[in-house]
Structure 1
Amino acid sequence: MPTDIYGFIEARHPSAAEEWYEGEPWPVAMPLYPLYDGDDHVAFGCLFGVRNWLGWTPVAAGRGLPADVSEHVRTDYEGSVRVDAATHGCTWVAWSELRDLDMSARPAARGILQVRSGPGSSTYRIHRYRIDDRWPSEMVEQYGMSPLGGSPVEAPAGRWEAAGATLEYGPVTRLHALGPGTGWEHVFEVMRALAGRFGDDGVRLVVWFD
């Protein structure tokens, strides 16, 4: 079952520390959607430790709502909890943490094997396997041994055809999970632009999942 993400970008008001300021310290800048509307569990695990089937060391997992979260975000999150028992994984991350991520970092898994099968382009199915030190027995039984080698340990990235399916294997890094084409580049660009006004520690993303 897919997991969906919800959230908002907040920016700390420049006068939040002033005695005369009566507004919220972290007003909402914009919602996560439409910047990002995907459901990629690889990215969720990489950033937030949710659906972390590849074994990432997540950037910001399980922090809950910030104590000074905006009323808008708190109300939205608490409403989600009331109507959907599956709501989970609430956390937040500052732009200062995302700005300097090592995009070459890898999870515990060696890589991902993607199997695309089906009778036509409009009806194909995609299944993804976590690859460690052995090819999955299910894959070998159905499609035969990979032409990349008897073990993934020294296998290069590659693609091949077998039994009416296209199989593709490759290592995965943060760049694969969060880089161009994933949708996260739009979130990062907006946060980077806001940081030019509010500072790197003055911009954060608050998220939760169901």
Structure 2
Amino acid sequence: MGTDIYGFIEVRHPSAGEDWHEGEPWAVCMRLDLLYEGSDYAAFGCLFGVRNWLGWTPVAAERGLPADVSESVRTDYERDARLDSAIDSCTWVSWAELRELDMTVRPAARGMLEILPRPWVIERYRIDDQWPDEVVEQYGIPPLGASPIEAPAGRWEAAGATLDYGPVTRLDVLGPGTGWEHVFEVMRALAQRFAPDGVRLVVWFE
């Protein structure tokens, strides 16, 4: 069964903390699904430690709901959790954290192998110190070498499929073409008004 992400971008009212401010400190700005509709586990693991099959050190895992989360987001999360026991891994991350990410950081895995047997189906394998037995059995030993330990990145054809191997960085799973660039651009723009610490993404998973 697959894992989906839900969430909202929140902003902190510039007057929050002032004696005269009577509203909530944080307010909903936008639903995440308007910007990102994917279910890329490599990105989920990188950012939030969910489905972390590549072995990232997550940016913001298992933080729970912010104590001062907006009532709208709290209500939405509690409704989802009440209706579906599979809802979990609620967490949040600020734009101040995201803007400082070193996009060259790599996970514990040596690399990732993608197999494209058909245009709409992509198989992915974590690669450490040996090629997966099932891959070798079906497609043969990769032309990159008998072991991935010193294998370069490469792309080749075998048994009617295209195989693509290489190391993975944060940029690969969060950068242009992943969908996360839209989330980051909106948060960056909002930070010009609300400051980097005044923009955050609150998420949970099913």
Q: How many angstroms does 1:100 deviate by?
A: 1.0
What residue is the counterpart of 1:174 in the other structure? 170
2-structure distance, mates of 1:20, 1:204: 24
Check if 1:189 corresponds to 2:201: no
Identity %: 74
Please identify runs of 4+ aligned residues in structure 1 that moved more than 2 A.
Answer: none
Q: How many angstroms does 1:177 deviate by?
A: 0.6
What residue is the counterpart of 1:34 in the other structure? 34
What residue is the counterpart of 1:93 in the other structure? 93
2-structure distance, mates of 1:165, 1:30: 40
What residue is the counterpart of 1:12 in the other structure? 12
Q: How many angstroms does 1:125 deviate by?
A: 3.0
The unaligned stretches of length 5 or more in structure 1 are: none
Q: How many angstroms does 1:162 deviate by?
A: 1.1
What residue is the counterpart of 1:103 in the other structure? 103
Query: How many corresponding residue pairs?
Result: 206
Q: Normalised by the size of structure 2, how large is the TM-score?
A: 0.98
1-structure distance, mates of 2:102, 2:18: 36
Q: CA RMSD in A?
A: 0.9
What residue is the counterpart of 1:158 in the other structure? 154
2-structure distance, mates of 1:207, 1:154: 38
The unaligned stretches of length 5 or more in structure 2 are: none
2-structure distance, mates of 1:125, 1:6: 24
Partner residue of 1:137 out of 133, 139, 143: 133
| Structure 2 letter corresponding to 1:116 | L
What residue is the counterpart of 2:194 in the other structure? 198
Q: How many angstroms does 1:206 deviate by?
A: 0.2
